[in-house]
Amino acid sequence: MTQLCPAVLVAAPASGQGKTTVAAALARLHTRAGRRVRAFKCGPDFLDPHWLALATGHPVHNVDLWMTGEDDARARLHAAALESDLIVVEGVMGLFDGEPSAADLALRFGLPVLAVIDASAMAGTFGAMAFGLRHFRPGLPWAGVLANRVASERHAQMLEEALGSGGSGGADGFLGAVMRDAAFTLPERHLGLTVAAELPDALARLDAAADALARTPLGRMDAAALVRWAVPFEAPTTPAAVPPLLKGKTIAVACDAAFCFIYPANLDALRSLGAELVFFSPLADQPLPACNAVWLPGGYPELHAATLAAGRACRDSLAAHVQAGRPVWAECGGMMPLFDQLTTLDGDEHAMWGLLPGRVAMQQRLAALGPQQLVLPEGSLRGHTFHYSRCESTLEPVRFTESARGNGEAVYQAGSLQASYFHAWFASSPEATASLFLAEGDA
């Protein structure tokens, strides 16, 4: 059955406009008011969901018409609508960037778009940008526009006047101005926002942002006002049963500050396949727990290269695991320490774990970005790539992922170890996912 629930998609004309801050502040504001809020992130992203999860107190899933698929997105949104007073979806890049874009998601599910515009260096142009965002795609559901990083009350007045509102809200729905304030700036580094858990004042930053938002018309919306954003979320079709291909298998998952790029949905997918999950920290030099297979997810090994290089227990137990023919799937940051050497951005060279021949070097420029697909005999896994390092190896790739431009990322294999820069969305193919964690001869 269809379920009504207020919902909004927080978008922007480009990256860096502050949409994560606004989305998290909006979610935090309503959570503090006692409302049940669920948040989602449009497109592939590991970092923004950390802030949205901190704001809501609930896991944050990704929704993307290609990577996760329309059926998966419909099921997750409908499930959230059944138990929520508000759904906040944060967009990706600019509103119309990518194929599919955040606008495509808004149109498909009827999500009203809240446009966040960094107005720090504009006045009258603010009106043109808001008008363009609203009318570029016919039929786009619209919630309104919020000016971000505003210099003063007079500046805010000029921005509102640029919409032709005359103080009445205007055709393009002026929902207020958030002043520039370092108290709620979310710090960034090369892959995006800093992980919320690494900042002792992360919640204080969100509360400061929520307090600032509370002083705007957007922030003053109560439960009755949110009804204007009510969206009818369709019930999903009954999904096909997931075969218990990993029943009886224990998968050890690396999880710490160096290996933190983990979709909660990927953990759910492994459990739905019947696997038991145990977690360990390579940063703490913990040896592998008893397990049948290992998953080394992405993260920031380059920020902890010296610590990872000095560890012996984790490295040696992982080598013994591979020597015994037990599977390892390593993706992006999880692959980097497996090579002989890792060179950080400042030029420091670290001897790493030596399970793959070759070296990895960080660089200033983005090396790869975009959707990818890994085609295996058991099925096709969808996902993406996003990294600032390059690897050189004498090992010939066993296959490549596919992208819209042709060949994508190399997949390396050394015995039972498989590794790639490719980040997989496990739910896109349970059968292909299971194959990554099954040894030869496993039923």
Active site positions, annotated? 332
Only one residue has tokens 């003063």, namely 152
Task: Determine the straight-line distance between the first and last CA of the chain, rounded to whole angstroms.
Answer: 39
Alpha carbon of 26 to those of 39, 241, 257: distances in Å? 10, 36, 27
Phi, psi for 270 (deg, rounded to 5): -65, -40
Q: DSSP for 297-333, please give it.
A: -BS-GGGGHHHHHH--HHHHHHHHHHHTT--EEEEGG
Question: What distance in Å separates the CA atoms of residue 63 and residue 43, rounded to the nearest whole number?
Answer: 6
Cβ contact 224:21 at 8 Å: no
- 423-425 and 379-387 beta bridge pairing: antiparallel
Cβ 176 vs Cβ 217: under 8 Å: yes
CB 206 within 8 A of CB 38: no
Closest CA to 201 of 54, 410, 343, 9: 54
- Burial grade of 347 (CB within 10 A; 0-12, 13-18, 19 or more): exposed
**What are the two backbone dihedrals, phi and then psi, of residue 222, each rounded to the nearest 5 degrees?**
-100, -170
Q: Which is it for the CA torsion 27, 28, 34, 39, positive or negative?
A: positive
Q: Retrieve residue 153's tokens.
A: 């009350």
Q: What is the DSSP letter of 214?
A: T
Taking the C-alpha atoms of residue 252 and residue 187, their distance in angstroms, rounded to an integer, is 31
Residues 412, 358 contacting (CB under 8 angstroms): no
Burial category of 322 from C-beta neighbours within 10 Å (exposed 0-12, middle 13-18, buried 19 and up): middle
Provide the 8-state DSSP code for 413: E
**Buried (b) or exposed (e) across 1-37, using 16+ Cβ within 10 A?**
eebebbbbbbbbbeeebbbbbbbbbbbbbbbeeebbb
